Structure 1
Amino acid sequence: MTDVLLRSGARPVPPHVAALPVAVSSARLTYGGTVLFSDLTLTLEAGRTTCLLGPSGVGKTTLLRVLAGLAEPEPPTRVEAGDGRPLAGRIAYMAQQDLLLPWLSVLDNALLGDRLRRRKPDADRVERAVALLARVGLAGRERDRPASLSGGQRQRVALARTLMEDKPLVLMDEPFSALDALTRLRLQETAAETLAGRTVLMVTHDPLEALRIGDRLHVMTGRPATVGPALEPPGTAPRRVDDPALLALQAELLRRLAA
């Protein structure tokens, strides 16, 4: 069974990505003289996918960057892992831009983490990267350069690169925004299956997407921004897009966004 999972691009969660709870508390950040958020709190439950929605410019991406260590918050902000250890080195981050290196092939971009760590990928890593590229619809494109890809295809390479990292905390900023509707649905399923068991925070503007693959959904609103109470869809992700219960929750989520 394990061999089948490896060939499909999914596999059991390895020990080094054991479930990791993360908490943000008393978060404060000012940008351009404007307080984006103050005394903001968000808890990411271990091994579950948390989706963050809200209007553009409210601070969702900034909060993601704070968690990734790419934005410096102000005191008394605290970002803590449940095991008490630093988060540095245990995060996979997928930005809104694909950030592919134009001189590397599709396969080498998917394996970029190995290159940055000055580690030559072994046969198992290469096999897994090829399998993931196939799962995101890029079979046979491994040797192509990013310039030959569409925007949606580039985003798929970035998704494969993120999934290759095998980190306990995965941060994703609108990972499916450049994709057509059908590809988007398929890759939501791929991400949900491949990231099972990891702690994930995903920013999205799509309520139905959040309901399909999120375990806990929060709406971020206001100035300074606050994070609203969690909405928890029933069942296991990825959920059916035509599930009546999901469609009913979509109305509630839209109400919270409008409020």
Structure 2
Amino acid sequence: MTTTVMRFDHVVKKYGGSTLAIDDFDLEIGDGEFVSIVGPSGCGKSTLLKLVMGLEPLSGGAISYSADARSVSAMTGMVFQQPLLLPWHTVLDNVLVPSSLQSRAQRKADQGWARELIEMLGLEEFAASHPYQLSGGMQQRVGIARALLHDPRILLMDEPFGALDAMTRDQLTMDLLRIWETDRKTVLFITHSISEAVLLSDRVVVLTPRPGRIADTIDIDLPRPRTLATINTPEFGEHARRIRQVLDGTEAVTS
């Protein structure tokens, strides 16, 4: 049985004491599992990641981790909707930002790993470049490398490809699949894209409009490794249709 790495136990989030953003969110995520969360705008998807990171306090319930987990900051890496790179830093220095408060010896060790990550993401020719010299997709690759620098057990991703053009989005999706299949980190992925969620995930959690509650959790049993050609299979289409039906409210919610 897969070890549970993170558990949401009837999580509730209110703003201003009365605006209910998330209600009774109850979910276990296993070690090495890729879980995507989809739902309409304003349903609390990004808020869930803020709760995990401790950027927002819980209004009710709890978020817990496996007994052998490190601190939340040490065990999680975050990839944001925008790469949030420092314009005066090179690609290498941006990847090394999480290492800035470490010891000199650790910073030196991190430099080697940072260069490996840059090469893994196809940016080795741009290690000395600055963000303004990079395309949007390349900037987001830097953000992914930065999140992976301290080898987090859980990778949190908040619509990281949403602002990119379709071809770049497809390429980064395949890059992410390749990295995940190599390392099998636990991933909690927020997206508006049903196709993206089905292609990447082991499970897709569908949220209701605000307040965000779990409408359905759908197992994605498509074989791995997956490619862009997977999108054209009947099985892929069936999963995508089911998620769309839940989002549209045309299918009874299953327990």
Question: Normalised by the shorter chain, which TM-score bucket?
Answer: 0.7 to 0.9
Q: 1:143 to 1:253 in 2, by over 3 A?
A: same
1:252 alignment partner AA: R
Q: Deviations over 1:34-79 (max 9, x none)?
A: 111122212212211100001111110001110111111113x211
RMSD, aligned CA: 2.3
5+ residue gaps, structure 1, are 1-17
Q: Pick the aligned partner of 1:52 from 18, 22, 37.
A: 37
Aligned to 1:21: 5
SS in 1 for 2:219: coil
Q: 1:69 to 1:43 in 2, by over 3 A?
A: same
2:52 alignment partner AA: L
SS in 2 for 1:225: coil
Q: Pick the aligned partner of 1:194 from 179, 183, 194.
A: 179
Count of matched residue pairs: 240
Return the alpha-carbon distance in structure 1 between the equivalents of residues 93 and 39 of structure 2. Answer: 35
Return the alpha-carbon distance in structure 2 between the equivalents of residues 66 and 101 of structure 1. Answer: 25
Q: 1:185 to 1:194 in 2, by over 3 A?
A: same
TM-superposed CA distance for 1:118, in Å, is 4.3
Q: Pick the aligned partner of 1:104 from 85, 89, 109.
A: 89
Aligned to 1:122: 108
8 Å Cα contact 1:214/1:237 also seen in 2: no
Return the alpha-carbon distance in structure 2 between the equivalents of residues 26 and 83 of structure 1. Answer: 20
2:107 alignment partner AA: P
Q: Which runs of 4+ in 1 moved over 6 A?
A: none
If the length of structure 2 is used for normalisation, what is the TM-score?
0.85
The residue correspondences of 1:40-79 to structure 2 (distance < 5 A) are: 40-75=25-60, 77-79=61-63
Return the alpha-carbon distance in structure 2 between the equivalents of residues 84 and 162 of structure 1. Answer: 21
8 Å Cα contact 1:20/1:83 also seen in 2: no
Return the alpha-carbon distance in structure 2 between the equivalents of residues 84 and 71 of structure 1. Answer: 24
Aligned to 2:248: 258
Q: Pick the aligned partner of 1:81 from 47, 60, 65.
A: 65
8 Å Cα contact 1:170/1:199 also seen in 2: yes
1:251 alignment partner AA: R
5+ residue gaps, structure 2, are 250-255
TM-superposed CA distance for 1:237, in Å, is 4.7
Identity, in percent, stands at 32
If the length of structure 1 is used for normalisation, what is the TM-score?
0.83
SS in 2 for 1:167: coil
Return the alpha-carbon distance in structure 2 between the equivalents of residues 253 and 241 of structure 1. Answer: 14
Return the alpha-carbon distance in structure 1 between the equivalents of residues 88 and 240 of structure 2. Answer: 42
- Answer yes or no: is 1:36 the counterpart of 2:21: yes
